[in-house]
Amino acid sequence: MKQTPSDALVVFGATGDLAHKMIFPALYAMVKRGELKVPVIGVAFPNWSLERVHRRVTDSIKRAGGINDKRALRDLLSRLSYVSGDYKDPATFASLKKALGKSRRPAHYLAIPPSLFGTVIERLGAAGLAENARVIVEKPFGRDLASARELNKVARAVFPEDSIFRIDHFLGKEAIMNILYFRFANSFLEPIWNRNYVASVQITLAENFGVKGRGAFYETAGCLRDVIENHLFQIVALLAMEPPAGRDFGAVHTEKAKVFQAMRPLKRDDVVRGQYDGYRREPDVAKHSDVETYCALRLFIDSWRWQGVPWFLRSGKFLPENFTEVLVELKAPPQKLFADSSPVNGRANYVRFQLSPGCDVALAARVKRAGKDFIGSQRELLLCEELIGEETPYQRLLGDAMAGDGALFTREDAVEAAWAVVDTVLKKHHRAIPYKRKTWGPKQADAMIAAFGGWHNPSIKK
């Protein structure tokens, strides 16, 4: 069903870091493409003049890549107005209502601390600003199962579910979208994409830097909440889901939710937590902090397709490389006809998705070498996609939300089902194990996956 587009965009937190780094550069790109033709109202606490807000937006765009279209910048600034006020004060929302003027279908984007989500949503409802409107909620959507349920309850009391857009910028990446397309646009994959042929799946999101001055945030989150429960779980859902009945976002959401519901709840021994040396000396970090900057886990999906197949997920800071990759390892041939046909170094045939820094899909297969002997080597058949002209995740997701297209967002039942998988280990877990910077984390994480060929640690060519 065709949705009616929003006729205004309200950005709560307009003077904040997220707006400066991501949102305003995305809006500038949307103006350049002719995709943004509605008023933009910034809302924040600082009592800034509109001129100062304009300077902030201009600086944002300069830092993000420069201004190469002055007409587009003037267009964006001409659409921008600003409301200053406390999010808890009804007068702020009365001022917002006045600033919206004739707009009747606004999209409210909450680029604010999660502790304020519920307050702003309730105030929007009380001010009559939720009718025919949409709300875009930045992650994290809750910090555990109980808080996610409470936030869903608050949001659903004000907005219908199809007007709530829970944003995870990771889902807006071209390479992530390619997983869904590659799986269901090709017929050769389906016969082997199950427990009969897949030995294991591993997903890595590695970062070669630390918390970058965000110690206060990381103390409230940790790697499991910040990366694995949302970003990596979303990748798992795209890899593990059944074919949807259609391409409408409702059908896709239904199949993704089923994956989360089939995930076996994690236990303490399924998770290895690590903390890089020096984390406790970062600004705003507790002296004896047990927050994990690295997390590896073993996951099972109790469904007909995936029963018994282990999924290994890991992410961490100050690892040797900066990349995100999936390795779907296939089972070895059932009969050893050739001396070298068993897995080399524990690695059988596999399908590999590199999601960053590049966008590659590779199929590894053994090929015979020239000569009389039946000896070969494993080679990758590589499909490489150049992402020239790719939209940024925020550009795509903001455009989709304002158009009412929820395909790349997360539904209420999926949010709660994902939190249910990790809820126990958020409260009861082993202590974080120290690891040296620029290593692949604690050795205990290697032991977890040793029987399945170990972690795939690619060296990214500079």
| Residues belonging to the active site | 231
Question: If you search the block for the tokens 């040296």, which residue do you land on?
Answer: 436
Structural contact between residues 30 and 399, judged by C-beta atoms closer than 8 angstroms: yes
CA terminus-to-terminus distance, the chain: 46
- Contact criterion met (CB below 8 Å) for 135 and 124: yes
Ordered alpha helix ranges (H), 65-201: 70-79, 90-100, 117-126, 145-158, 174-185
Longest dimension (CA), the chain: 85
Q: Phi-psi region for residue 13, left (φ > 0), alpha (ψ -120 to 50) or beta?
A: left
Which of 454, 440, 204 minimizes the C-alpha distance to 343?
454
- Bridge partner residues of 82 (DSSP): 42
SS3 316: strand
Query: Helical H runs in 65-144?
Result: 70-79, 90-100, 117-126
Best CA proximity match to 359, nearest among 336, 392, 331, 382: 382
Describe the strand order of the beta sheet including 40-44 as a list of residue ranges.
80-84, 40-44, 8-12, 106-110, 134-138, 164-167
Burial of 384 (0-12, 13-18, 19+ CB in 10 A): exposed
CB of 299 closer than 8 Å to CB of 270 = yes
